[in-house]
Amino acid sequence: MSNSFGKIFKITTYGESHGVGIGVIIDGCPAGVKVDEAFLQSEMQRRKPGQSKITTQRKEEDVVEILSGIFDGVTTGTPIALGIRNTNQKSKDYSHIKDSYRPSHADYTYQEKYGVRDYRGGGRSSARETAARVAAGAIAKMYLEQAGINIQAYVSQVGSLKLEKQYQEMDLNKAEENIVRCPDPTMADKMIQHIDDTRKSRDTIGGIVSCVITGTPVGLGEPVFDKLHAILGQAMLSINAVKGFEYGSGFEGVKMYGSEHNDRFETENGKVKTTTNHSGGIQGGISNGQDIYFNVAFKPIATIMNDQESIDKDGNKVTVKGKGRHDPCVVPRAVPIVEAMAALTIADFMLRAKTNKI
Amino acid sequence: MSNSFGKIFKITTYGESHGVGIGVIIDGCPAGVKVDEAFLQSEMQRRKPGQSKITTQRKEEDVVEILSGIFDGVTTGTPIALGIRNTNQKSKDYSHIKDSYRPSHADYTYQEKYGVRDYRGGGRSSARETAARVAAGAIAKMYLEQAGINIQAYVSQVGSLKLEKQYQEMDLNKAEENIVRCPDPTMADKMIQHIDDTRKSRDTIGGIVSCVITGTPVGLGEPVFDKLHAILGQAMLSINAVKGFEYGSGFEGVKMYGSEHNDRFETENGKVKTTTNHSGGIQGGISNGQDIYFNVAFKPIATIMNDQESIDKDGNKVTVKGKGRHDPCVVPRAVPIVEAMAALTIADFMLRAKTNKI
Amino acid sequence: MSNSFGKIFKITTYGESHGVGIGVIIDGCPAGVKVDEAFLQSEMQRRKPGQSKITTQRKEEDVVEILSGIFDGVTTGTPIALGIRNTNQKSKDYSHIKDSYRPSHADYTYQEKYGVRDYRGGGRSSARETAARVAAGAIAKMYLEQAGINIQAYVSQVGSLKLEKQYQEMDLNKAEENIVRCPDPTMADKMIQHIDDTRKSRDTIGGIVSCVITGTPVGLGEPVFDKLHAILGQAMLSINAVKGFEYGSGFEGVKMYGSEHNDRFETENGKVKTTTNHSGGIQGGISNGQDIYFNVAFKPIATIMNDQESIDKDGNKVTVKGKGRHDPCVVPRAVPIVEAMAALTIADFMLRAKTNKI
Amino acid sequence: MSNSFGKIFKITTYGESHGVGIGVIIDGCPAGVKVDEAFLQSEMQRRKPGQSKITTQRKEEDVVEILSGIFDGVTTGTPIALGIRNTNQKSKDYSHIKDSYRPSHADYTYQEKYGVRDYRGGGRSSARETAARVAAGAIAKMYLEQAGINIQAYVSQVGSLKLEKQYQEMDLNKAEENIVRCPDPTMADKMIQHIDDTRKSRDTIGGIVSCVITGTPVGLGEPVFDKLHAILGQAMLSINAVKGFEYGSGFEGVKMYGSEHNDRFETENGKVKTTTNHSGGIQGGISNGQDIYFNVAFKPIATIMNDQESIDKDGNKVTVKGKGRHDPCVVPRAVPIVEAMAALTIADFMLRAKTNKI
């Protein structure tokens, strides 16, 4: 396995869905970051299950305990360990999949790879793991905030319902004012209705989370393999259910001519800027000081409430029952996870950039 | 910088566009791989400039010298160093950009990040660096071939010209029979014409490279952060001019319902397979034995033959002349690069998977 | 900081002496290792304070809680998190060093490096951190035992009292039969007396821990930088209070001629062996199948019960009081720590060696 | 294999003794280091064979070619590749060991580990690889010199001839004035005579290299596993023929009481210093601003000119002829290698320390 992310601001997560608990060690957080525990806990609330009618009704309080690395409200440079106890596991809910492989889940691949698996709730492959990322991401956000960097994600698509407005045209703070986390209230209502309909039909639906990072200095990203967008891409693709990543002009940009796509440099009040930003704030894998923006595609999650045909570990046909408490659409709860992974990526590059010159 | 890729089968590349040469060290290639030097050189031919009328007319022979790690035609387990001399640099071509920032290039970001840059031909930020990747990828391919794994990329879109056929409907070997590397001859002709028209208008155009990996065992990929598709994504996004990555159902998959998207398991001749493959051969970040397929979006490259307005390092307005010898569309030459990065990724995961069980 | 050790069997530790707790994540332990919780706890007992009259009288029960990665008594290949709560911190004992720098401690260097420090009991620099290593080492030992590898350390020197017998001349199991952990009972008595005398004079004394590893296959160690003895050396030198490391003939070997020092190969029952073993079981950085043995030098620990002159953070002269509960000699309790670090090193190389050949 | 060293200032070496050439990539050298090619080449001269009557009479000019990463005499932050062609290989000298295992060499372990080996001159296991380290170390030294850090190694023991003077009592610059590199002229003469006598008896002898680092800032070293002395230890132990490492009071320190061993802090001209330096300039794994000093033990090298009994790969008894051109004592040529590895270690920690605080 590889449960670490980052080169300097490095996290390592642990824990299974239905084990004793989950958590994370942050190794390499610089000393001197002021830590606001209430903010940390509030980030957990944004991700936690049961927060609205369009999320799973499972209840996890996700209280984070700080075990080390913070003293008198400030990071000390030593490893920060954050632990979360699992409190609401209904393990018996999962006995039906002990020997069966749920379609498009990781049951089969884990069993083959390791020869053994903790089948309860998906074990390590469960998206419960992302709670640890959100906790670590909250620390990264506090570090970045002190450097003037802001990260804001929001839902821009649910199924075929696509928000056509660009991020500059909206007040992104409005995203947190509705349960689907779309900054456009009209579209938000439609999305909520669509998710609720999907839930009633015992099905699931996909969506897209968009994210904007403002305030980054010029110089983040480490070519040639750890280009800023390459590691952002890895970070996002490592989140459960993600199928695609694009930044700046993205997939649409392939249709453009170079003469249209190129971002012209100019100076404004002595500061270099570009008149357009198809580059998405990144040139040659390095931030250029403009806004960084990207999209993350989430598939419809695999757990549906309807019965499905599958096989068991011996290859026999079985019917997998639609049981448990799950999200009809993952994107509302994915918003803080995308932000957390973005924050962890940027925090790491902030530190790496300190070593570029003598 | 971070010029290494891979955890066990690890490459480190070096070299600037107009320096003495470029190259790569492969550290961690297992002993016992039979090395076919002719194949290695033929891979270089697929990437080299000047190969057809729709690529740059720059000439680089890109002869690879094997410096270490191979003895009596077999890898010895020691580091394999491959060197390529630069032979056709016309450095004076670049004096005009010594102090100017070309739009959407890395001139500005490198200058700011390092305080100094080798401006000749983009220096380290030039796509010339990818020649070293192709050389290393050729070694990875030889290793994978002996394990029965095949990697095949092709051009599936140029500008708005999109190949609608799925990879299963075509003979992918036909991709190498035309200069744009599209396996559909009719579409290939259209694409070639489109690129040629773009070249004549002194502009550039984007495109998409698709890739299919067959023959992988179940179990490749290291959750939770080094999921197979997450590292494939990083690998692809690290290639010059890439703006997006998607695998399996990708961005289109967000529109689907879970009941449609889920891939049903069944057994065929005692072997587990899925009836559909929206998962793109990867579940929970681990290969499931089905075909792995993905798309990589390339922007129109930034170097165009028309003059462009920009600024110099002091912020003064300048006109950047359209000079040099460049590709009107990068995707035909990107095909072997995508394959190389895929081969390097899979080779690394093949070795990592050996350590999963006692 | 760098709180991780190992490339594949990788541990990351956290925790301060007087914080909430300490612990470790093991990422990369192969699936299928049978876990004996009683053995894990018994290893903790060997390191814990208060175990005899010649150790600190501080009491810590060091109960390890398994938080993840083990299911039905077997490792699952997912990260194994082990947590230990701190129970007996007397933080007020340390208020006297809040602003003072204890001689030969890490107070000054931590303060300068990070600008802030958790001064209670040395915080992160306390040897309490090694409890997490012993817990992780116990898992490594279980893995190695299933591969037939055994690790045994013992005390071979206390102050000037040096055990002249070679390890082959003694029954190393006897080391656990006395409180100083020296396999020679007569010498053990002398050492115990010496430590007790030192304790009574409110002083501390150094010592040497020797270690023997048997049953390793040929092929462990990854040249040229991760030679087996180089990483063993790093592992040992990373333990608190260690000043030196030597393996095989060590420092004495420099006096020998090559004709004496060279170990002659021969075969015995079809198996390759050497007639002497000055190489210490390692040639060219790779295990050769013979016993691996090495010595680790520990300085007298810096905390003494007598008052000492020093300075405070403003450079003023202060007297540091001899307070707290500390070990007069660290080596008896260091034995399981040396074993743990050796086990972690060997476990990592066992996994790395799986990737040497196709 | 693992042919990389360093986390940020990271080197990767390649090359076999009798292949095309050897070399190194430095990835992570900060931009802005002024490079003096003459100094680089002069460092190679200090290590090269054939430099005096007490070294091997093999001739290698070891001319370093700079392939990338330096532009207009300054490092650019991109990877620095340095190549050295092998020019004086007499490969036929080694046909006699194609199938035989030389005693205390790496022939047997490489063969078993990889199933194949380049037997010519030891291939990758040859100390020829260290030429690449010296080249990289020269770049590291130029970086450190600009930061006011100086590294000086010298020979302090040959066989039983031990220099009893401490480094403070001598002018270390005198070490380069004689061929054995001992700063005490009288002892130097004795050592030279001893090595020459050993050479005449067709044998080899061991020795110790001592090293002193001055001018380091407080704060280098990354606990808990990458303590400054732990990585210095790994660095030194990774050099061919090294059997032991100790720093500060080292193995002798175990005999001391804490009350003697502790280094008292005081201030001098507003600067913190210690009155003694048993700590060797490192406390808690972090540099404290005092001189760093350590010893490295080298065994007598295994290649002797007398015939030796051994076995071949099939286990048959063979006589290994004493052939080739080799060093009777490795320490004079090891001095620049020890310095190079120290420089690489310190350079890496200088960069890592930049990330400790916000």
- Of the listed ranges A105-119, B86-100, B222-236, B297-311, the one predicted with least confidence: B86-100
User: Strand B286-287 relative to strand B282-283: parallel, antiparallel, unpaired?
Assistant: antiparallel
CA distances to C106, D151, D174, D258 from D214, in Å: 20, 7, 17, 25
Q: Which residues of D touch C1 (CB under 8 A)?
A: 222-224
- D4/B27 CB distance under 8 A: yes
C97 is in an annotated binding site: no
Percentage of residues in chain A with pLDDT exceeding 70?
98
Q: Which residues of B touch A255 (CB under 8 A)?
A: 159-160, 206
- C110/D284 CB distance under 8 A: yes
Chains B, D: CB contacts within 8 A come to: 154
Helices (H), C270-357: 331-353
Kindly list the residues of chain B whose beta carbon comes within 8 Å of any beta carbon in chain D. Answer: 1-4, 10, 12-16, 19-23, 25, 27-28, 31-32, 65-69, 71-72, 74, 76-81, 83, 113-118, 123-124
Q: Which amino acid is at C95?
A: S
Out of A58-62, C65-69, D122-126, give the one with best mean pLDDT: C65-69
B202 is in an annotated binding site: no
By C-alpha distance, the chain D residue nearest C225 is: D238
Where does the pLDDT of residue D88 fall: very low under 50, low under 70, confident under 90, or very high at 90 and above?
A: low
Q: Which residues of A touch D8 (CB under 8 A)?
A: 355
Q: What's the pLDDT at A56?
A: 80
Q: Which residues of C touch B355 (CB under 8 A)?
A: 8, 28, 30, 351-352, 354-355
Q: Which residues of D touch C300 (CB under 8 A)?
A: 253-254, 256-258, 260-261
Q: Is the pLDDT of residue D323 over 80?
A: no
The residues pairing with C84 across neighbouring beta strands, listed in sequence order, are C22, C64
Percentage of residues in chain A with pLDDT exceeding 90?
88
φ, ψ of residue C161 to 5 degrees: the values are: -80, 105
Question: For B315, which of A233, A272, A310 is closest by C-beta distance?
Answer: A272
As a whole number, the mean pLDDT across chain C is 95
ipTM of the complex: 0.97
B124 is in an annotated binding site: yes
As a whole number, the mean pLDDT across chain B is 95
Q: How many whole angstroms separate alpha carbon C242 and alpha carbon D232?
A: 13
Write out pLDDT tens, residues A24-64: 999 999 999 999 999 999 999 999 888 888 888 777 789 99
pLDDT higher at C56 or A238: A238
Q: Is the pLDDT of residue C336 over 60?
A: yes
Q: Is the pLDDT of residue A90 over 70?
A: no
Q: How many whole angstroms separate alpha carbon D266 and alpha carbon C228?
A: 41
Q: Is the pLDDT of residue B4 over 60?
A: yes
CA distance D283 to chain C (A): 5
By C-alpha distance, the chain C residue nearest B350 is: C355
Q: Identify the CA nearest to D281 among candidates D208, D218, D207.
A: D218
* Tokens of residue A264, six digits: 């012209």
CATH architecture of A4-353: 4-Layer Sandwich (3.60)
Q: Is the pLDDT of residue D89 over 70?
A: no
Q: What's the pLDDT at D171?
A: 97
- C33/B358 CB distance under 8 A: yes
CA distance D1 to chain B (A): 6
B302 is in an annotated binding site: yes
Q: Which amino acid is at D94?
A: Y
SS3 per residue for B113-145? HHCCCCCHHHHHHCHHHHHHHHHHHHHHHHHHH
Enclosing H/E stretch for C177: none
Residue C252's CB: how many other CB atoms inside 10 A?
14
Q: What's the pLDDT at D90?
A: 60
Best residue in B243, B249, B268, B320 to probe A by mutation, most A CBs within 10 Å?
B243
Q: DSSP letters of A255-283? A: GSBHHHHPPPEEEETTEEEESS-TTTTEE
Q: How far is CA B168 from the centre of its chain?
A: 22
Question: For A8, which of D355, D357, D358 is closest by C-beta distance?
Answer: D355
Q: Is there a contact between A298 and A335 (Cβ–Cβ < 8 Å)? A: no
By C-alpha distance, the chain C residue nearest B348 is: C355
Where does the pLDDT of residue C296 fall: very low under 50, low under 70, confident under 90, or very high at 90 and above?
A: very high
Q: How many helices (H) and strands (E) does chain D have?
A: 7, 18
Q: What's the pLDDT at D54?
A: 84
- Is residue A93 classed exposed, middle or buried when 0-12, 13-18 and 19+ CB atoms within 10 A define those classes? middle
Q: How many whole angstroms separate alpha carbon B215 and alpha carbon B147?
A: 8
- B78/D118 CB distance under 8 A: yes
Q: Is the pLDDT of residue C247 over 60?
A: yes
Chains in contact with A via at least 3 Cβ–Cβ pairs below 8 Å: B, C, D
Question: For A356, which of D30, D352, D356 is closest by C-beta distance?
Answer: D30
By C-alpha distance, the chain A residue nearest B4 is: A225
Angle subtended at Cα A141 by Cα A136 and Cα A142, rounded to the nearest 5 degrees? 100
The residues pairing with B357 across neighbouring beta strands, listed in sequence order, are C31
Q: Is the pLDDT of residue B277 over 70?
A: yes
Name every residue whose Cβ is closer than 8 Å to that of residue D142 and which is 6 or more positions away in sequence: D33, D34, D35, D36, D39
Residue C166's CB: how many other CB atoms inside 10 A?
10
* Tokens of residue B98, six digits: 């010594």
Question: For D8, which of A31, A355, A357 is closest by C-beta distance?
Answer: A355
Q: Is the pLDDT of residue C91 over 60?
A: no
Write out pLDDT tens, residues D289-318: 999 999 999 999 999 989 999 999 999 999
Q: What's the pLDDT at C212?
A: 98
Enclosing H/E stretch for A138: helix A130-146
Where does the pLDDT of residue C271 fall: very low under 50, low under 70, confident under 90, or very high at 90 and above?
A: very high
Over range D138-166, report the average pLDDT: 97
**3-state SS, residue C121:** helix
φ, ψ of residue C244 to 5 degrees: the values are: -165, 155
Where does the pLDDT of residue C56 fall: very low under 50, low under 70, confident under 90, or very high at 90 and above?
A: confident
Q: Which residues of C touch D295 (CB under 8 A)?
A: 251
Over range A170-189, report the average pLDDT: 97
- A19/C77 CB distance under 8 A: no
CA distance C296 to chain A (A): 26
Angle subtended at Cα D58 by Cα D56 and Cα D63, rounded to the nearest 5 degrees? 115
D165 is in an annotated binding site: no
- D31/A358 CB distance under 8 A: yes
Percentage of residues in chain D with pLDDT exceeding 90?
88
Q: Is there a contact between D194 and D161 (Cβ–Cβ < 8 Å)? A: yes
Tokens 């992918």 belong to residue: B172
Q: Is the pLDDT of residue C95 over 80?
A: no
Q: Is the pLDDT of residue A333 over 70?
A: yes
Kindly list the residues of chain B whose beta carbon comes within 8 Å of any beta carbon in chain C. Answer: 8, 28, 30-33, 77, 143, 146-147, 351-352, 354-358
Q: Which residues of C touch D286 (CB under 8 A)?
A: 106, 109-110, 113
